[in-house]
Amino acid sequence: MDRLGIVPKPLKTELLGGEIFVDPSDAVFAIEENLGKEEYILTADKNGIRISGGSEQAVFYGKQTLLQMRGDCPCVRITDKPAHEYRGFMLDCVRHMFSVDDIKKLVDAAASLKMNRFHWHLTDDQGFRIWLNRRPSATIEGSVRKRSEFGSLKEEGEYGGYYTEKQMREIVDYCAERFITVIPEFDVPGHCSALLHAYPDIGCTEKPVEVKTHQGIFEDILCAGKDKTFEIVFDILEEILDIFPSEYIHIGGDEAPKTKWKACPDCQKRIRQAGLKNEEELQGWFTNEIISFLKSKGRKAIVWNESLKSGIVGNDATVQMWMDPKKHSVDFANTRNGKVIVSDFFHYYCDYPYSMTPLNKTYNYKAIVKGIKNPDNIYGVEAPIWTEFINSFEHLCYMFFPRFAAVAESGWTVEKNKNAKDFCERFRCYSRILSNIGITAAPPHEWNPSPLSRAVGTIGFTRKNVANKPKNK
């Protein structure tokens, strides 16, 4: 490790000879148009500390580097810019909610690691967490589940809550001040039990649906044949667009079983009328309807990779690849010039224990997708954390860090500058920044467990959480 120990590792660090005492408040800043939008140059030498950047955002990144350089440092010139445009993290606030203050801590950490997207998962089977002025029953009815039974994490009593308009705006503003765009996720047509609880008439059977109390994939999904479905979905999106200025809105599209669509006269009628081949194409059609709606408002969609199965989704959507054995994302990039966000389940999902996803496995995963010919089609990387088995901020931080920082480094640092051992050493220095924020990472001896501990941990996690799952109701 060099003496500076910056995370994420900068592109180029030149030692100029001699030492300087770094007090970040002494730095001077300048915008230089010949530098890229996220590119900065930081010079610390006998003449003082200067940061020049191609934009305010770039200067902000220079400051984040400087904040990691307090005290006696070698005189240095750092020339730095990101490898990838999209560098994000995802937080599931449905299975368990996190306070605005705690979310801000994650945002602070993301900003210090030069991430620029916060993907906020706000709707799912176990709760609808966006306050809606026009459709309040979606929130009032859909935000409460009767109990929680996520594997061994069982909590009796109602669990409910949502983010008010003021809170969501507060997060958007807080992120904007740190050059982070909030991408809200309204997951459709699957993972919609909470919304269907409030509006059973937009399901295929129109029968009551419970807000789910356990994890899983559920057969009740939004009916694609009823016009009312789109009336409600567009109403909800209108409110989301009003609060979240992001160009991209995440519309989910993962894990949508087609059982109900197969038996639904409305869905079957839609298939015939729209000239579609099957239910998979119906999901493509459903997705395209929402993409067109977003387009009419000047916005774009991000979708999970299952949305591409039909092959008919337009390339004005961007795909988030999490589990894609049939390589729809590769096809999307190669044949339709689509953009791909890399969030591979086996490497980047931070809700799985270190025994299953050790730090080195996350860190060493290359932000490339085998088969994608043009690297420009890789938009970037995102570290997701799902919270079925995480019900406190302390546990969230333990699971997220340092893997969160490993993904941030894969987003920022060019492959040839990456090194897992060096990262671990630098992360220990960086932990000081995290503790100032109020975040405690997992202890170093847990980052890369031995093969035996990995086996024991994996079996333990599976028995505790997966094998212990109640039957779908």
Residues that bind ligand ACM (CB under 6 A): 254-255, 304, 322
- Strand (E) or helix (H) holding 73: strand 71-80
User: If contact means CB under 5 to 8 A according to the sort of partner, which of Zn ion, ligand ACM, none does residue 59 touch?
Assistant: none
Least CB distance to ligand ACM at residue 400 (A): 16
Return the number of the residue (53 or 252) whose C-beta is nearest ligand ACM. Answer: 252
Residue 153 touches which of ligand ACM, Zn ion, none (Cβ within 5-8 Å per kind):
none
Nearer to ligand ACM, 141 or 255 (CB): 255
Rg (CA), the chain: 23
Min CB(253)–ligand ACM separation in Å: 9
User: CA 118, 124, 127, 133 torsion: positive or negative?
Assistant: positive
- From ligand ACM, Zn ion, none, interface partner of 151 (C-beta below 5 to 8 A by class): none
225 touches, from Zn ion, ligand ACM, none (C-beta below 5 to 8 Å by class): Zn ion
Amino acid in the structure at residue 422? D
Q: How far is Cα 295 from Cα 328, in angstroms, rounded to an integer?
A: 23
C-alpha torsion sign, points 132, 133, 134, 136: positive
Residues 6+ apart with CB under 8 A from 176: none
Cβ(411)–Cβ(82) under 8 Å?
Answer: yes
Burial of 157 (0-12, 13-18, 19+ CB in 10 A): exposed
How far apart are CB 267 and Zn ion at their closest, in Å?
A: 4
Closer to ligand ACM by Cβ: residue 304 or 430 = 304
The neighbour count for residue 358, using CB atoms within 10 Å, is: 21
- Nearest distance, CB of residue 320 and ligand ACM, angstroms: 8
Q: Minimum Å distance from CB 25 to ligand ACM?
A: 43
The answer to whether residue 190 forms part of the interface with Zn ion (CB under 5 A) is no
User: Smallest distance, Å, CB 121 to ligand ACM?
Assistant: 9
304 makes contact, choosing from Zn ion, ligand ACM, none, with CB < 5 to 8 Å by partner type, with ligand ACM
Question: How many residues at the interface with Zn ion, by CB under 5 A?
Answer: 6
Do the strands 378-385 and 339-342 form a parallel or antiparallel pair, or are they unpaired?
parallel
Interaction partner, residue 266 (Zn ion, ligand ACM, none; CB < 5-8 Å by kind): Zn ion
Q: Which residues of 218-230 are buried (b: 16+ CB within 10 A; e: fewer)?
A: bbbbbbbbbeebb
Among 191, 195, 206, residue whose Cα is nearest residue 265: 206
Instruction: Give the ranges where 150-277 is alpha helix by DSSP (H).
Output: 165-177, 193-198, 227-243, 259-262, 265-273
The binder of 285, among ligand ACM, Zn ion, none, by C-beta within 5 to 8 A per type, is: none
Is residue 238 classed as helix, strand or coil in its secondary structure? Answer: helix
219 touching Zn ion, by CB under 5 A = no
Q: Which residues are within 8 A (CB) of 80 and not within 5 positions of it... i.e. 6 or more apart?
A: 10, 11, 12, 39, 40, 41, 42, 61, 62, 65
Does residue number 209 form part of the binding site for Zn ion (CB under 5 A)?
A: no
> Quick one: 310 or 320, whose CB is closer to Zn ion?
310
The minimum distance between CB 438 and Zn ion, in angstroms, equals 47
Residue 2 lies near Zn ion (rule: CB under 5 A) = no
Among 267, 369, 396, 399, which residue interacts with Zn ion (rule: CB under 5 A)?
267
**Which is nearer to ligand ACM, 141 or 254 (by Cβ)?**
254
Q: Under the criterion CB under 5 A, does residue 266 sit at the interface with Zn ion?
A: yes
Q: How far is the CB of 222 from Zn ion (least distance, A)?
A: 8
Q: How far is the CB of 358 from ligand ACM (least distance, A)?
A: 20
The site partner of 204 among Zn ion, ligand ACM, none (C-beta below 5 to 8 Å per kind) is Zn ion
Rounded Cα–Cα distance for residues 24 and 29 (Å): 11
In the bound state, the residue with its beta carbon closest to ligand ACM is: 254
Under rule CB under 5 A, which residues in 98-127 are in contact with Zn ion?
none
- Report the nearest approach of ligand ACM to the CB of residue 89 (Å): 14
Query: Does 407 interact with Zn ion (rule: CB under 5 A)?
Result: no
Q: Which one, of 368, 318, 354, 377, lies nearest residue 454 by Cα?
A: 354
Distance CA 396, CA 387 (A): 8
Q: Residues in the site for Zn ion, rule: CB under 5 A?
A: 204, 223, 225, 264, 266-267
